[in-house]
Amino acid sequence: MTAIPDTSPALPNRLSPGALAALITLLVGAACIALEPAFAWLVKWPAAWTFPATDWVGAVLEAVLGALKPFARMLASLLRYPMDGAHFVLTRTPWPLVIGVTTALGWYLGGLRMALLGALGLGFVLASGYWIESMTTLSLVAVSVPLALMMGGAIGILANEVPRVKSAVQVLLDVMQTVPTFAYLTPLLLLFGFGPVVGLIASAIYAAPPMARNVMLGLERVEPEIKEAAVMAGGTRFQQLFQVEIPSAASQIMVGVNQCLMAALSMVIIAAVIGGFNDIGWEVLLTMRKAQFGAALLAGLVIVVFAIVIDRMSGALAIERKRHDPRIAYGVLAVSVLVTLVFWGRLPDPSGFALLDPTADAVDAGLTAFTVASGAWLDSVKNGAMFYVLLPLRIGLDQAVLPFTWGFMWTPTMSLWLFAAGAAAGLVLIARGSVVGGLLLMIAVGILETGIANLPWPFVLTGTAALCWIAGGRKLALISVLLLLTILLSGLWERALLSLYLSGAAVFACAVLGGAIGLLCAVSPWAWRIVRPICDMLQTIPLFVFLIPVLMFFQIGEFSAFLAICAYAIVPMIRYTRFGLVSTPDDLIEAATASGATSVQIMKDIRIPYATPSLLLGLNQTILYAFSMLVIAALIGTTGLGQSIYLALGQADVGLGVSAGAAMAILAMIADRIVQGFAEERRKALGL
Amino acid sequence: MSDVNAPAIACRHVWQVFGEGADKALTAALDRSGQDADAASQHLRATGFIPAVQNATFDVAEGELFVIMGLSGSGKSTLIRCISHLLHATAGEIRIDDENIVEASKQRLIELRRKKLGMVFQHFGLFPHMTVADNVAYPLKVQGIGRKERLAKASEVIDLVGLAGREANYPRELSGGQRQRVGIARSLVADCEVWFLDEPFSALDPLIRRQLQDEFLQIQAKLKTTIVFITHDINEALKLADRIAIMRDGKIVQIGTPAEIVLHPVDDYVREFSKDVAKGRHAHVASVMRGAGGGIEPGPDDPGLRTNMTLDAALAKCMSLYEPVPVWDDAGACVGVVDPADLAAALQVEDA
């Protein structure tokens, strides 16, 4: 055949892989909808077809854990010694001394600013009256972090030394990162019994991966010539590693220490859920349950202050090489010792401070007044979002549109009209050359009508396979479908779809809003100056604290959970968007300017395309953040896997907890690989 | 001590092939081609392997300054890493003082590096967390030598490279040239007998480079170690080398003195290198001298040519003469005659 130039913008002779995948997905979806009346099993996976997999998992795990129990209990009783020791030291040390040590350390690490941060931060904690609770939390961190550092460091070094172990370790770390925090707790509870030791061990396990990752990364990034110089100097492998490679990787390893500290703190606080241990996390939980939001906010702020002090000080370890004059640090220490000695026995009880209680009460009163005054307005915001956005996404227009919500009843005729409109718009797009876009539009209309929670399973499997195939090839598609099938067969499917819906909605909101904010910050340095500290703050706050403000205004429910997830997951989207947009090489922008492009054109034609890989990475992080927050948000009312994990924790149901945790991890990993695949492809296409 | 006549370094059929299962693939490829290196390399490339060094065979004499030159990707850095055993050669034999280091044990290699080998790197490879003094003293530290003693020794070499006074500085506080001086000092601190330099001056500005080259020659004149020196700069090679090996795509294409390389390139690749070189400055009278000039006595207008005079200098002295001119050695005996026309011809750049 000879190629005749096609003058009409009609369908290309051959479909691109993307269009083919979209077409197949669309056809499967359409077939499912059409056949639903006849074959109900196409939409709802019949309960008869599932295996009691969670029970099996539970039985196996309980057997294994039971066998490990004596050993675990022994470990737990051993760990009690350092824990009690740390607790004793931190709670009994006179508070001026603790503040003095922190201030001195702050000075040494980061000069006046850091010293002030330490002094004011701890001063705030003291004034809040939560001193003892805070020190209890700190003592847990103080024991779990060295454990995590040792484990993480050992894993990192092992992976570096034995290349064969490396890829296995990478997979393990990936899994550990995606398995939700609560899911760790259930098996640990069984192993170690109730009590603070569980929180300790959970936080050590949770905090080890970032350390391991950074040790691996740091050792990998040591310049090859530095490694070679150590070899040529005649060092043994041990000397090379400990005298040259690890010190050379110090700043990356310090980043690991910083992340490890933050993860441990976050987990210690979350672990309060399982035990009435007199720590600050428990305090937040307690006050939150009693709807004392002023007190909850105050306790939450104490956590935030701790997080910021620990983060900034350990962060200074990673960046600043020059240390400040130790003599001043000694001076500060001496003053605090002096104060302690002079006022010995007359020091006020740290728990007696209640300087901020009036503020907390005022907040409570103000909040009550506010909710009473603008309750109608808040409700309308909440109901609007629920009725017009979240509910249709969840159960579809056909069920969400009711006289009670939208003021009229959805009829099958309307469905037909919607489909017709979607098909028409899609066809217009296709006729204009955008085949994939048209097909995707039709798929989106279908999803909107059906609702994510009611999507037919063949459609979800096909769609996932199609996306995986485009993003990462046949192998990824196969693995993803197999993993999804295990969820389907284990009877967790409906809950998985519910989780998918809520996190999907949050991710979508974050992508749009975060993308817009990121764009704004890229264009205006002024905006970035405001947004940046907020982002820093949001990333430092332990997950748990996000629940307080949303609860204050919107009570328990899905909308509150949605807001909490968004607040946490939006940060990476903002950061990566801005970073991608501002890191366009200058010569590209100069070339575009020289060609006469306006700044809008430069943004549209140069900067955004160039930033795509970065944008996709931001989306990827947002997805992972949303998943991890989803489980925490189960505390304030979500359905789906997060709720199952939380319930399993309460009932010590290992099978359900671990299975649901695994299902979450599967969803997160599939999403991660798909987005990473697209990002990688874009990066290659751009030659980066 | 080893035999005086044995070369300090002897490489025999050294191969470095990258890829999974490279040693088997190499044996198979050589068997297939009947031990023909070129055919084997071609086959290896076709099957996805990278033959970075192919069948390298050469000797370096004791105290010789041997330069390996080639473009980036020609395998010169890989070859020096084979000889210093930073890479384990896929096949072949590398003898240093008659000891085959390819088969040396881990323990023996550590010992060799502590006592005998020193290396300087292109990007310096300085340890960022150590001061200049600690960097330089590190090879002594790994041997377990006490702090006082090793710092004393380190300060000697630091003096030698002209960095006295910078002992307490960190590498990041030094300029590029100073950093490489630290690298040189560190490689010398353990009194090495064989000195490897991997493009030591390539990352430096031209002026600093020339200065360091001169200082390097002075140090070499003092220490007289055996040197393997890597460079991609023909002028640097000609300036420093006793002999030069030129590499291309993993193969050594020519080994010779600077004059041989300049005057008798074996192929267009080598010729291309020396094209822009001022040959008159690098070739010596000896390389164009004919026959023996026995019995000739210096005449009244004798220009006084010497064997080690560059062609430029010789030509300047006998511009106006047409007769063959006698050449004298350092002892004052006539060792041959030079036709001024030959001098001129040798300097002409080939217009191929």
* pLDDT confidence tier of residue A3, bands split at 50, 70 and 90: very low
Q: Answer yes or no: CATH 2.40.240.10 is held by domain B61-92+102-277.
A: no
pLDDT of residue A640: 84
| Subunit contact A226:B127, Cβ cutoff 8 A | yes
| Subunit contact A232:B84, Cβ cutoff 8 A | yes
| Subunit contact B127:A247, Cβ cutoff 8 A | yes
Residues of chain B in contact with residue A254, where contact means CB-CB under 8 angstroms, are none
| Subunit contact B142:A239, Cβ cutoff 8 A | yes
Residue B15 pairs in a beta bridge with: B91
| Subunit contact A234:B110, Cβ cutoff 8 A | yes
In chain B, what are the domain boundaries?
Answer: 61-92+102-277, 281-347
A236 class by beta-carbon count within 10 Å (0-12 exposed, 13-18 middle, 19+ buried):
middle
* pLDDT confidence tier of residue A369, bands split at 50, 70 and 90: confident
Residues A514-570: pLDDT tens digits? 999 999 999 888 999 999 889 988 887 878 888 888 888 888 888 889 999 999 999
Residues A11-53: pLDDT tens digits? 445 678 888 888 888 888 888 888 877 777 777 778 778 888 7
- Cα angle: B347, vertex B244, B279; to 5 degrees: 15
pLDDT of residue B64: 93
Residue type, A399: Q
Residues of chain B in contact with residue A235, where contact means CB-CB under 8 angstroms, are 110, 138, 142
Residues A243-254: pLDDT tens digits? 999 999 988 899
> From the list A226, A234, A248, which residue is nearest B139 (CB)?
A234
Distance CA A344, CA B339 (A): 104
The size of chain A, in residues, is 688
Query: Percent of chain A, pLDDT > 90?
Result: 23
Distance from the Cα of B119 to chain A's closest Cα (Å) equals: 7
Residues of chain A in contact with residue B119, where contact means CB-CB under 8 angstroms, are 228-229, 232
Q: How many CA atoms lie within 13 A of A510 on its CB side?
A: 34
The structure tokens listed for A186 are: 């259930």
Distance CA A48, CA A40 (A): 13
Whose tokens are 């302690």? That residue is A340
Higher pLDDT, B185 or A289: B185
Class assignment of domain B281-347? Answer: alpha beta
pLDDT of residue B320: 62
Q: Which of A98-102, A292-296, B202-206 has the lowest mean pLDDT?
A: A292-296
Residues A107-147: pLDDT tens digits? 888 888 889 999 999 999 988 888 988 998 999 899 999 99
DSSP secondary structure code for residue A45 in this structure: P
Inter-helix orientation angle A547-554/A357-385, to 10°:
70
Q: Number of A:B CB contacts under 8 A? A: 70
Residues A458-510: pLDDT tens digits? 889 999 999 999 888 899 999 999 999 999 888 888 889 889 999 999 999 99
Residues A338-363: pLDDT tens digits? 888 888 777 777 777 777 778 778 88
- Asked whether residue A99 carries a pLDDT value surpassing 80, the answer given is yes
Residue B118 pairs in a beta bridge with: B195
Residues A505, A65 contacting (CB under 8 angstroms): no
pLDDT of residue A4: 43
- Asked whether residue A588 carries a pLDDT value surpassing 70, the answer given is yes
Question: Phi then psi for B15, rounded to 5 degrees?
Answer: -125, 140
- Asked whether residue A159 carries a pLDDT value surpassing 90, the answer given is yes
Residues of chain A in contact with residue B196, where contact means CB-CB under 8 angstroms, are 232
Residue type, A171: V
Residues A139, A87 contacting (CB under 8 angstroms): yes
Interface of A with B (CB under 8 A): 223, 225-226, 228-236, 239, 243-244, 247-248, 250
ipTM of the complex: 0.79
**How would you classify the pairing of strands B194-198 and B226-231?**
parallel
Distance CA B115, CA B194 (A): 10
pLDDT of residue A317: 81
| Subunit contact A235:B111, Cβ cutoff 8 A | no
Distance CA A138, CA A179 (A): 25
Distance from the Cα of B141 to chain A's closest Cα (Å) equals: 9
Distance CA B19, CA B48 (A): 8
| Subunit contact A233:B126, Cβ cutoff 8 A | no
Ordered by where they begin, the domains of chain A are: 132-316 (1.10.3720.10), 495-688 (1.10.3720.10)
- Cα angle: A231, vertex A234, A239; to 5 degrees: 75
Question: Phi then psi for A127, rounded to 5 degrees?
Answer: -65, -30
Residues of chain A in contact with residue B115, where contact means CB-CB under 8 angstroms, are 234
**Alpha-carbon distances, residue A16 vs A4, A425, B124 (angstroms):** 20, 20, 50
Q: How many CA atoms lie within 13 A of A504 on its CB side?
A: 19
Distance from the Cα of A491 to chain B's closest Cα (Å) equals: 45
Distance CA A53, CA A191 (A): 21
> From the list B121, B130, B186, which residue is nearest A225 (CB)?
B121
pLDDT of residue B228: 95
Residues B49, B24 contacting (CB under 8 angstroms): no
pLDDT in tens, chain B (352 residues): 444 567 899 999 999 999 998 999 999 999 988 888 899 999 999 999 999 999 999 999 999 999 999 988 899 999 999 999 999 999 999 999 989 999 999 999 999 999 899 999 999 999 988 999 999 999 999 999 999 999 999 999 999 898 999 999 999 999 989 999 999 999 999 888 999 999 999 988 888 999 999 999 999 998 889 999 999 988 899 889 999 999 999 999 999 988 888 888 888 888 887 777 766 677 777 777 776 666 666 666 677 777 777 777 777 676 666 577 778 888 778 888 887 777 777 766 554 3
| Subunit contact B129:A226, Cβ cutoff 8 A | no
Residues of chain A in contact with residue B111, where contact means CB-CB under 8 angstroms, are 234
* CA B88 to mean position of chain CA atoms: 21
pLDDT of residue A472: 85
Residues of chain A in contact with residue B81, where contact means CB-CB under 8 angstroms, are 228
| Subunit contact B142:A234, Cβ cutoff 8 A | yes
> From the list B117, B121, B190, which residue is nearest A229 (CB)?
B121
Distance CA B59, CA B243 (A): 10
**Alpha-carbon distances, residue B269 vs A507, B66, B113, B125, B263 (angstroms):** 59, 20, 35, 32, 14
| Subunit contact B186:A233, Cβ cutoff 8 A | yes
- Cα angle: A41, vertex A45, A46; to 5 degrees: 75
| Subunit contact A232:B124, Cβ cutoff 8 A | no
pLDDT of residue B336: 81
DSSP secondary structure code for residue B310 in this structure: B
As a dihedral over the C-alpha atoms of residue A380, residue A384, residue A386, residue A388, rounded to 10 degrees, the angle is 160
